[in-house]
Each structure stands twice: as C-alpha cells, then as structure tokens.
Amino acid sequence: MMKAILALEDGTIFEGSSFGAEGTVTGEVCFNTSMTGYQEVLTDPSYRGQIVAMTYPLIGNYGVCEEDMESADPQVRGFVVAEVAQLHSNWRAQESLPDWLARHNIPGIEGVDTRKLTKLLRTKGAQRACLSTELTAEQAIAAAQAAPPMAGSDFVTEVTTESPYHWEDESRNWKLPNKTAGDLSNYVELPPVRYRIVAFDFGIKRNILRCLRREGFDVMVVPAHTKAEDVLSLQPDGVFLSNGPGDPSALPEIYAELQKLLGKLPIFGICLGHQLLGLAFGGKTFKLKFGHRGGNQPVKDLRSGKVAITSQNHGFAVDPDSLPDDVEVTHINLNDGTVEGLRHKLLPIFCVQYHPEAAPGPKDATYFFGEFIGLIEDFKAGKYQS
C-alpha cells in the first residue's frame, strides 16, 4: 500500500498507509470517541475544515450505506484510523469505506497509533495538521504550520444551503418502524403536521430534519444568512437553529440577525445554534482545548439533577460568566464543567450544546424535540412576554 504521513504543527510525525484518495490536505486534527457511526461522522457538516481521527481501533467493518449519510457528501478534510477493515460485512452496505472515500476524493491514513495521537491532543490541545501521500515530513510540517487556524474561521458559508427548501418532500422517502406493534417490518406513515417552523441551515444534519418532522413539524430550511425580516414574513410558529462548523464568533452578521428574532418567536438551538444564541444574548464564546466529539459525553441537567449520555461534536463553548442575568445555565458537561444548555428566563428560548438527534450516539436527549412543541404551545397560550 502507498505510504502516507500525518504531520502536526508541533513537528510530530505519524507514518502509516494510505487508503481512500491520494494527495495532500490540511486542517485542524481532532479525535472522535464513538465506537460506531463513522459514516455519519464523515458526512456531518460540523467537521468541515477538519481531519478526524477515530479512537476506536477498527473502522469500516460495516461498509457504507447512502441512507446513513448526514449530508450529500463527506465533509471532513481527511480521515485517520488505526486499522481500516479490508472486508466489510453488512446487508445494507453498498460500498467499502476506502472505495467511497476515494470516489469522494478524501484521503485517509491507517496504521496510526491513534492512542498516542489522542493523548497528544488532550495534552497540548488541538493542532493544525497535514495528511499527505506525496510530501516529505519537513514539507508536511510546514504545510500544517501554514494552515489557517480554526479560531476565526467561517466554514458555515461553505456548507449552508444556497436557497430555501421544504424538507417534507424528502421525508416521503422514509417511514417510521411500528415499534409499538413489535414488528420492525411494519411501517406507519409520518405523523400529521402540528406546527410550521423555519430551520436555519448552518450545516444541518439530515437526522435533525427527520426528528423534527417525526415530532410533527413542517420544516422550511433557509440559508444561514437569511434576514430576520424574511423569517418573520414566513409567519412560522417557531425557529430552529442548527449545528454547524467553525468559530461562532466569526459570524457576527448571523447572530446580529438572530438578536432581532429574540422574543418574536419560540427558538430552539443546538450545537453552533446554541453558541450563536449565546452571542445573540450578549455573551462570549471561547475555544476548548481539544473539544468534545463522540457519543459518550456525560451531561447533567441542573434543574432535575439527571445525567444523560450525549452525542457531541464541537470545539467552542459559551462563557457562562459573560451571559446576562436573564439567561440561566441549565446543563453542564460533567467532564469539564462547561456549558451544555441555556434557557432564557423571560423569553421562549432554549438551546443545548449537544446533539439530541444523535446519529451516531445515544438517544437520551431526543425529548428536546418534544420540549420545543411545548415551548411553542406555551408561547401561543401567552405564557411569555414578547
């Protein structure tokens, strides 16, 4: 197999074998601790501009299935694994992982000591990196050092939709298993629409849209830079703010528009949407040392005391000390105490840093989509000031 190298900006070199596409890419290298769901990770727009390393040692053993993609194409710059499966086994698989990456021009490297790489990133923090099948070690280190940092980067413009679209049309291609009847081969139709919402696409995952529709929302997806007045002209019952990549503080035009929506409609945000709400409230965000990425992040609900195991993918967080008094922290990460949830005390707004739709990951937090229904109903009942 062709040799490949992963070079970090601090001069560390990892040697391995190439799989997927050949060539050279640069970006921030990060690690994900999920044991499954590599395809969803690879196609999550929140990873735009990054080289992703999986801590689980064997990747690719169940191949690739187009139905499991979270966006139309892979979003990562490169992929790092300890071992890639040479033979996949899954009745749903349509292609091997190496062939799929090669077809999409995404380079991968295997044979890397991912435990060493992860420990290095946890100790020194996130680093810029270069993955290459053609550069020397010295050239790759120089390329890593010349790559733009994640802080200050706007990748939302690259992943957002170019024009509004209605998700219902795509929802007709899938149905829900009738688990109540205990027969997964029996399917039921989608539930009737209860409320119409506008979803800002900062890099939205398909499973978020599925979960919203499954809860009874009619979803109109709009580009990230949509003006507040255009949202209000659609007369929705609520607004959803999606996940997305990059530095939230690099998006002042977006959170300035969100400020104009505060108090006008019920708002639910996740991941980047959560961070942008923090900025719209007047708070600040900061870059985490190495981020939270994986399906095993413990989060505590400060209101109930309950702990949920959550799916996360973010490298920035909201500074709780920067928030105004009318915004309360509702959830914290039990590993490092960072903010994982916010709620406005007077306005119909709440948000979480993690992914209630999972894909991949545990489904402990799916109840938030139902809470969004309750928020809209309370707003319509006049329980919030406007």
Cα pseudo-dihedral 188, 190, 193, 196, rounded to 10: 160
Nearest to 344 by CA among 379, 310, 373, 317: 379
Maximum CA pair distance of the chain?
65
| Whether 79 contacts 41, CB under 8 Å | no
Token reading at 277: 């709400």
The verdict on whether 130 is a catalytic residue reads no
Active-site residue identified among 274, 331, 344, 355? 355
Active-site residue identified among 70, 271, 331, 340? 271
d(CA 288, CA 294): 15
Token reading at 196: 């119409």
DSSP string, 201-266: ESS--HHHHHHHHHTTEEEEEEETT--HHHHHHT--SEEEE----S-GGG-HHHHHHHHTTTTTS-
d(CA 94, CA 132): 27
Nearest to 313 by CA among 67, 37, 12, 129: 37
Give the sign of the dihedral formed by CA 252, CA 256, CA 257, CA 263: positive
Nearest to 271 by CA among 347, 197, 345, 365: 365
d(CA 52, CA 49): 10
| Whether 246 contacts 153, CB under 8 Å | yes
The verdict on whether 271 is a catalytic residue reads yes
Q: Which residues form the catalytic set?
A: 271, 355, 357
